[in-house]
A = this chain, B = another copy of it.
Amino acid sequence: MGVTIYDVAKEANVSMATVSRVINGNTNVKPATRQKVLTAIDELGFRPNAVARGLASRKTTSVGVIIPDISNLFFAELARGIEDIASMYKYHIILSSSDQQKTKELDLLDNMLEKQVDGVIFMGSSVTSDHIEAFNQANVPVILAATVDDTEQLPSVNIDYYEAMKDAVTYLSEQMDQEAVGFVTSPLNAKINDMKRQGYVDAIKASGLAFNEDYIYPGDDSYQSGLDAANYFLKQQHPPKAIITSSDEMALGVIHGAQDHGVSVPNELSVIGFDNTRLANMVRPTLTSVLQPMYDIGAVSMRLLTKLLRGEEIEQEQVVLPHRIVERDSTNA
């Protein structure tokens, strides 16, 4: 624009320091002076230059968000949670999609650090030692959202994927009496997928069933791979009587795939999704799903970051949010 703090100072007959105090809400300003300055600001249409402020104060009030794919419903919801809390605390979001590519993730981090973000929220497929090193080098807090790191060195917000999956399988097997349960995995987050898989295996065994590798289908998180999974399972000699998927979108695929095979859900096949996105209500039969509070994960991550940024007390750096099964019509209650 051109109008600076200096112009305002002249207009209001004060020093630039006083103007600075006013725009920063410093209390040490006589009300009359403040008013004079405010008037001048208004008349001149002064807008403080956040870049200059950032340089002088070494704080930018902006945080970087690295997300696998903003067009994915799951992450978009999470992003919204981050955003709402960020704006509540007057932070801005610099948002970039990484497509889960490690190089891109690291590059984005670097770019964001160049922009002097005050902190970073990271969502990604896996946290390698390269990641950890980069995060440590960052000199600003980094928080993992819906992303697991074995070493637990970084603050993070997640649900207990192992228990969640175990609960889901148990829920299913309780109503089915020793019937096979299929599992459609997702490559989205390597570690999380491992935890889910382990939960699945343990629950299967706990319910007295034999674990069978054939009952695991590697999905890619898309609707189409749900369709494919249904096809895969239903062509087996002893198809599972229930299928649990790693995401709702794949669950819809499974349901429709089953219906295409003339298999009725939930009578002949129970299906349970994961995440409890809005999709769960947008299918017939409606989808039973493991609720993962995406919005909350985002919101809590951002809240945690603000605490770190303001030096507030942190009780727990590894936050585990509750999950639960939301029963709908794709399973027999």
Contact = CB atoms under 8 A, between A and B. Distances in A.
A112 B48 CA distance: 11
Interface residues of A, number: 52
A98 to B, nearest CB: 10
A96 B83 contact: yes
Nearest to A112: B92
A216 to B, nearest CB: 23
Interface string A262-301: 0000000000000000110111100000000001000000
Contacts of A80: 69-71, 97
Nearest to A110: B47
A76 interface: yes
Contacts of A52: 55
B83 A79 contact: no
B114 A50 contact: yes
Contacts of A259: 284
Interface of A: 1, 45, 47-52, 54-55, 60, 62, 69-73, 76-77, 79-80, 83-84, 87, 92-97, 110-116, 137, 139, 223, 249, 252-253, 256, 259, 278-279, 281-284, 295
